[in-house]
């Protein structure tokens, strides 16, 4: 199966060192809700110059290079709804890496699935412990959310900490990015998403498949929620058909190395 954990250790060290250069207490408190016009015709979306500049300052990423037909799968898991096992089966069959952004509730309630994610070679991201509006927290409270999650994750899996963070509901501010950097966390947003978090309102796998294929673009960071039967049903066909279009599937470690222009050979 996939092996994607080695570079993550280097990325953790990189983010920790770089993060020390930022002063989180000098950051602005404006609140942002991540989102933009959907990608079309294979063209990546654009967050706008102001947000692009802010993200770049703190090494936050939401898409890869526009000339590389690589897709990065990410899933947000707040609670389990019986669909994750199917998703993991598909990822294993198609040899596609993914990162699962989990909450504390998920760690406690779905421990066997968390262990399988790690065993199968997938990444674990920090979606906070209690799923609050992180932009409204103090720096100390932000740290508590991330570190409380990491402590429980280590107890369950042996992984000492996470590197990649994603704020609940995509709500953030500059202070959150800066505090995260100072603690060794790098924020990963997304360039493809759709309304898929209502577990009791399925629209069918065709809906999810069409959303994914219509928004597909080089360097796509895809966000899906594992509570959706639409997603688990659409994922096999989406991965296979994306491959037919020449796309490959990469890990977030690979995305970050691409962003930093780090060559794989330089790590050996």
Kind of pairing between the strands at 98-102 and 123-126: parallel
CA-closest candidate to residue 235, choices 141, 136, 98: 98
- The torsion angle over the Cα atoms of residues 147, 150, 155 and 156, rounded to 10 degrees, is 150
105 is catalytic: no
76 is catalytic: yes
Kind of pairing between the strands at 32-33 and 171-172: antiparallel
Please name the residues in contact with 146: beta carbons below 8 A apart, sequence gap of 6 or more. Answer: 126, 128, 129, 162, 165, 180, 183, 185
CA-closest candidate to residue 34, choices 51, 9, 17: 51
Catalytic residue, from 131, 217, 225, 253: name it.
225
Catalytic residue, from 4, 76, 122, 150: name it.
76
What are 74's strand-pairing partners? 99, 223
Catalytic residue numbers, as ranges: 76, 225
């Amino acid at each position: 199966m996939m092996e994607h954990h080695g570079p993550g250790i280097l990325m953790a060290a990189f983010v920790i060192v770089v993060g020390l250069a930022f002063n989180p207490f000098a950051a602005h408190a404006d609140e942002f809700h991540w989102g933009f016009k959907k990608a079309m015709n294979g063209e990546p979306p654009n967050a706008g110059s102001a947000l692009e500049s802010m993200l770049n300052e703190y090494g936050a990423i939401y898409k890869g290079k526009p000339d590389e037909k690589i897709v990065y799968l990410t899933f947000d898991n707040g609670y389990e709804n019986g669909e994750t096992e199917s998703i993991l089966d598909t990822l294993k069959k198609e040899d596609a890496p993914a990162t699962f952004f989990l909450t504390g509730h998920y760690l406690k309630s779905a421990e066997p699935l968390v262990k399988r994610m790690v065993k199968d070679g997938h990444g674990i991201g920090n979606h906070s412990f209690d799923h609050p509006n992180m932009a409204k927290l103090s720096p100390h409270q932000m740290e508590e959310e991330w570190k409380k999650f990491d402590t429980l994750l280590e107890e369950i899996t042996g992984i000492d900490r996470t590197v990649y963070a994603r704020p609940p509901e995509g709500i953030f501010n500059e202070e959150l990015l800066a505090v995260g950097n100072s603690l060794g966390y790098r924020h990963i947003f997304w360039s493809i998403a759709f309304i898929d978090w209502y577990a009791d309102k399925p629209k069918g796998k065709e809906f999810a498949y069409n959303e994914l294929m219509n928004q597909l673009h080089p360097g796509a960071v895809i966000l899906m929620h594992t509570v959706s039967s639409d997603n688990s049903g659409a994922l096999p066909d989406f991965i296979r058909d994306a491959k037919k279009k020449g796309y490959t599937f990469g890990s977030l470690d690979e995305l970050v190395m691409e962003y930093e222009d780090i060559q794989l050979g330089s790590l050996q």
